[in-house]
Structure 1
């Protein structure tokens, strides 16, 4: 529980109001309670009063503040020291104390403290030495504070218990228990104040055995423990989970005639709740009221917390109502203790009422997690309006809202198909750039932003969805569903370039793209009349490991073919065949024909070879016929040569067609070469124009080729006659 230290009041001095903030002034002690057993120094007595500086009339100069301003704005040099001397003719205890008190930071105070001593301007007394030690320990400059304490007797400043207590507390705040104990042991004379300080330090670190030894030593020295001493010891024992020891201390306290106060009871009640001893805590609460010790806000908050922890939320509500009926206003800790319990007990109506009271009284809690829990539980219970009120309450209390809070509401509004409200929340989220805020505790979950992005992309608002998602990207989100929804949305809206940009980002970040997104992107490019980009997207689809449907292949090939990009269509065809897609053969024939007609014969032959290897048989007869009719003799020649080389079977009439076309085109040597191959592969031929070819070869001076061809024809015909006669004899004998 929070406690207030039991120290002597320093010498009171008239008040001086500085014209700039004083970072070293002691802040007011808060009565709020985050953890009832956290610190025993905020419970027993009013805060220690600091000595204040000497007041002056408006007509009098203010040398202390002038000196502090000079130290804050200038480096500590000899020139600055001369300037300070020019401001003050005589340094007295009041002036030095006031300068130390108002210095902008502890370094300035320490420089000034040492300078006035070394320069012989002032001999420090008990007040200025104590003030310097307090400043240094408050800012964890413990070595400097220790040196000043040790050196104090050298400058005729006797050691004072408050100096030791300040240093002990400083080491305690820093968690350095051993040094705090050493300082405590340095004291020659100690009172209960020093023991209280060391108890607090060692018990905060769980050293309950050491605390018991010092307690016994204190009693041996004849120092009587005070109520504050027992409060610290009880707090520490409960903190160390030493219930039996705490009970013995409480009994010892009553034996010594030390009456408990509200802090004692608060500590005991909270301690019993730690051990799930609800009945004992209730008895203590009744006993406290029976002794006319009025429970305070901490008492009621402790009871509420105990009941909530024990799962008795109805009793926690009763105590809460009793508290208000007694005129005690709940603080932030009371609300943040009760609200989670109501949520866990599914008392959402009561939780909504308590939240409304907290907002109405403008009580802002330190622990903002309660709002997320409230919002989540209200959504789970189906109370979307109440959940939205939680967000409004946060805004009214000036509590920073985070993306996670909006995300809970957006997700549940989307699930309830209340998309208009979800979109309004999203607009605020984007407008205020809440997602990009650094050090957020609650980020938006994928289940929230994916639902919102999908809705926007399905309803023609992909641009807004992308703006939203790009803010998420800055936070490191790499969600595949969100990316693919954006890709599909842009494609369906006819913005394939935007979709392709999303696809590129996905590629750079290694985010997988699904087949449906690619299909929509390709179709979007085709609708826009950009088949080349569609082919690029198709290639990317294949690289990602997806197999396009045969209809998608056909759409891309047709679009490229109609756009005159025959070779590009041929490459798509090649990819299709390699993937084993057996449809679209009619379109394949058209592409092969176009390649041959345009003179891309080698490419066409390569495609035919690929088709054959994969079990497809293109219509070679038709291709040769078309080429001859279109007088593409060279293409026909190469195709026929390809057929002969691979012993493909075609109609015999096609040989004659190709030879006739070559002869008609005056390509006698080409006709001669292919006829020779025909004779070698197929034997004798009855081509009617062969004599005309021999005559043309002779007239063109190619007599050698004419003679060779004549001999080959005669040999083939002779062998053919012999074969026919042999067949007749065999048949006759038979």
Structure 2
């Protein structure tokens, strides 16, 4: 093909196109993949169907042109790069490539059309065909096809029509292809059978069988001669969809038109009957084929063998395999692979291995389908040594299996058999075959390395996994539990950060595993990084992942060791919210740390939680916290805690608290505490009454002393007479003579006066 400089398009000379070269037959038939499903790999069956009645030479790749009067395909000529001064060469690009690139990058507008016309002085057949062939997509090809015709730049012929129909059919733009086909006579271009065959095949591949049948019928109405090629195309389409009854009707119609079937016709029919599980009908057509003196070839026998294997009749398949050899028809790799797959399916692995060795002895190299058939069968039978040998042979020949699940089966099988070296070799072999390894492959090997105690090898694989971000690039479903053993090992051996890097990659794939979460918390806590552990804890709470109390305990203790009791309290609250019950030692550690950090009220709240949860230990520490609350003036809070303790059967020592408060001069706190005890009839030593009264008098709080003394006497308490006399004297000195008089009469009248209504009223008024 002539070349054009991309930098100086205006310097082109008029383009001279070479004579169009041979155009390869677009109707050469692909192999029949009988009974093949997209979900499982099948050996491709070489059932190439020719379009003539004569038997083609199987060793020849040459095809016959359907257009003897028209050049079949453009012949590309390369022009030597023009020498540029300075010894440099500019990159040159063919004209058709430039046009295709322009169409792909720009919208199809009048401006683009004018740009193309400036590039091309004359649209010749070779250029138009090449542009259609190299167009980036079917839409570009269709726009170019219509434009050059409508603009009067080019008159399309058989070859360009056939090319655009082929392109549109491949892109499933079948309505456009049909319109172009039916409009051909209007342009003076006559049909031939090959155009209809191409469109019949395209509709069939799209699954629109009825349209294929309609096109076949239209051929007769339009006067297009139908030969065995058209019938073969129709048979393949309708048999692929299981329309075997329709195929039989058209087969009879074909015979009534004196069109004789060929070997390819019978191959397509037999294949279709087996596809629909019509075994007897398929066998009958096979016999009819021989009756018509049409010799079966290797393709025919492969179809028969595969068909009987599909219905689990291996004895019949063996019969045809032996018959094929008896007719001096050499089995090919497909024949052997089909037989091996049949033996594997019925559990006759030894027979399959014998055939495998036989085919190699005859110089027939196993292909990817052969290996993909035999290796899984050996894995299922737990014959891992033989599976490994065949796998090494496959890798040595650089043959990649069609089904990549084989690698996982090999890895799992070798690990189950205890051969971890062989399992690791599978990973290396995948790299050698350019098969992408995923996180699942690594996970199985890493897990089994950990189970075997070979943690150093597991960590090496893990480093590679993290470095290449295999987990993030993996599109398959992962099992995070495979990585739990190595995460646990890392967390227990001071490498929690590496474990977290792995786990965060797993989390991005949506795998919140509770075991790994808790191991990470333990690891960070043990290594003295509780903040990192708490971040993991936040994620757990947010995602509602269940936590473990032991992990919380380690986290709280880690904060306490770092001297951060406030953060420890936050983690403690989260522990309670998640339903975990701390033990008494954890309560004590946290309260002691808070108390020492002078966070008395926070320690008091922990104490409250402890009492509410029914933990009755650590009462010595409780007394210290109550004392500190009273000393700091948090009297109401202290009294609330005391009441909670009393309801729980853990009443504090009032005498000790009153004595300390009086000694420290905390008279108001002592007054309120004594008042609290009197109202609830608590056991208080009478000596502490006097201590409180003396403290109040010493502080000059005579009215408070009078009030509490009245309550003491009302409750029947006994006080020192000197304390009462001292209080009366103080009341008189301060001018509170009425209260002094009442108190004096109470002392004189004793219990009788105190118990009378009048005395109670006077005491109340005071």
- TM-score, with length taken from structure 1: 0.91
Specify every segment of 5 or more residues in structure 1 that has no aligned partner in the other structure, as ranges: 1-11, 17-24, 723-734
Partner of 1:14: 21
1:555 has 2:611 as partner: no
SS of equivalent residue, structure 1 residue 283: helix
Partner of 2:457: 421
- State how far apart, in whole Å, the 2-side matches of 1:76 and 1:685 are: 112
Partner of 1:128: 160
- Select 2:228's aligned residue among 192, 217, 220: 192
1:226 has 2:258 as partner: no
User: How many angstroms does 1:455 deviate by?
Assistant: 1.1
Equivalent residue runs for 1:187-586 within 5 Å:
187-188=219-220, 189-438=225-474, 440-443=475-478, 445-586=479-620
- State how far apart, in whole Å, the 2-side matches of 1:245 and 1:195 are: 19
Greater alpha carbon shift after TM alignment, 421-430 vs 107-116:
107-116
1:115 has 2:147 as partner: yes
User: How many angstroms does 1:199 deviate by?
Assistant: 1.0
Equivalent residue runs for 1:606-685 within 5 Å:
606-682=640-716, 685=719
Partner of 2:215: 183
1:710 has 2:744 as partner: yes
SS of equivalent residue, structure 1 residue 436: helix
Question: Structure 1 704/433 Cα, relative in aligned 2: closer, same or farther at 3 Å?
Answer: same
Question: Structure 1 63/652 Cα, relative in aligned 2: closer, same or farther at 3 Å?
Answer: closer
Partner of 2:763: none
Question: Structure 1 707/69 Cα, relative in aligned 2: closer, same or farther at 3 Å?
Answer: closer
Question: Structure 1 717/165 Cα, relative in aligned 2: closer, same or farther at 3 Å?
Answer: closer
Question: Structure 1 499/456 Cα, relative in aligned 2: closer, same or farther at 3 Å?
Answer: same
Root-mean-square deviation over aligned CA pairs: 2.6
Partner of 1:174: 206
Question: Structure 1 47/395 Cα, relative in aligned 2: closer, same or farther at 3 Å?
Answer: farther
- State how far apart, in whole Å, the 2-side matches of 1:47 and 1:238 are: 31
User: How many angstroms does 1:87 deviate by?
Assistant: 4.4
1:438-464 deviation per Cα after TM superposition (whole angstroms, max 9, x unaligned): 5x2352x23311111111111111111
- State how far apart, in whole Å, the 2-side matches of 1:452 and 1:588 are: 44
Give the number of the structure with larger relative contact order, counting CA–CA contacts within 8 Å between residues 6 or more apart.
Answer: 2
Greater alpha carbon shift after TM alignment, 516-525 vs 677-686:
677-686
- Select 2:628's aligned residue among 594, 597, 602: 594
Partner of 1:161: 193
SS of equivalent residue, structure 2 residue 401: coil
User: How many angstroms does 1:170 deviate by?
Assistant: 0.6
Partner of 1:4: none
Question: Structure 1 684/473 Cα, relative in aligned 2: closer, same or farther at 3 Å?
Answer: closer
- Select 2:726's aligned residue among 686, 692, 700: 692
User: How many angstroms does 1:245 deviate by?
Assistant: 0.9
1:471-498 deviation per Cα after TM superposition (whole angstroms, max 9, x unaligned): 0010001111110110111111111111
User: Contact 1:405/1:442 (CA < 8 Å) preserved in 2?
Assistant: no
Greater alpha carbon shift after TM alignment, 463-472 vs 703-712:
703-712
- State how far apart, in whole Å, the 1-side matches of 2:687 and 2:349 are: 100
SS of equivalent residue, structure 2 residue 261: coil
1:541-595 deviation per Cα after TM superposition (whole angstroms, max 9, x unaligned): 1111111111111111111112221111111110000011111111111111111
Partner of 2:764: none
Question: Structure 1 703/28 Cα, relative in aligned 2: closer, same or farther at 3 Å?
Answer: farther
Question: Structure 1 126/43 Cα, relative in aligned 2: closer, same or farther at 3 Å?
Answer: closer
SS of equivalent residue, structure 1 residue 581: coil
Greater alpha carbon shift after TM alignment, 507-516 vs 624-633:
624-633
Question: Structure 1 214/116 Cα, relative in aligned 2: closer, same or farther at 3 Å?
Answer: same
User: How many angstroms does 1:168 deviate by?
Assistant: 0.7
- State how far apart, in whole Å, the 2-side matches of 1:215 and 1:345 are: 45
SS of equivalent residue, structure 1 residue 694: helix
- State how far apart, in whole Å, the 1-side matches of 2:415 and 2:244 are: 46
1:58 has 2:90 as partner: no
User: Contact 2:123/2:154 (CA < 8 Å) preserved in 1?
Assistant: yes
1:368-391 deviation per Cα after TM superposition (whole angstroms, max 9, x unaligned): 011001111111111111111111
User: How many angstroms does 1:214 deviate by?
Assistant: 1.2
- State how far apart, in whole Å, the 2-side matches of 1:521 and 1:66 are: 67
- State how far apart, in whole Å, the 2-side matches of 1:489 and 1:234 are: 67
User: Contact 1:611/1:617 (CA < 8 Å) preserved in 2?
Assistant: yes
Question: Structure 1 26/329 Cα, relative in aligned 2: closer, same or farther at 3 Å?
Answer: farther
- State how far apart, in whole Å, the 2-side matches of 1:707 and 1:26 are: 131
User: How many angstroms does 1:175 deviate by?
Assistant: 0.8
Specify every segment of 5 or more residues in structure 2 that has no aligned partner in the other structure, as ranges: 1-18, 51-57, 66-71, 82-92, 757-766
User: How many angstroms does 1:107 deviate by?
Assistant: 1.9
1:125-149 deviation per Cα after TM superposition (whole angstroms, max 9, x unaligned): 2222112111111111111000011
- State how far apart, in whole Å, the 1-side matches of 2:417 and 2:483 are: 21
User: How many angstroms does 1:312 deviate by?
Assistant: 0.8
- State how far apart, in whole Å, the 2-side matches of 1:197 and 1:299 are: 25
- TM-score, with length taken from structure 2: 0.87
Question: Structure 1 618/146 Cα, relative in aligned 2: closer, same or farther at 3 Å?
Answer: same
- State how far apart, in whole Å, the 1-side matches of 2:492 and 2:62 are: 63
User: Contact 1:37/1:267 (CA < 8 Å) preserved in 2?
Assistant: no
Partner of 2:14: none
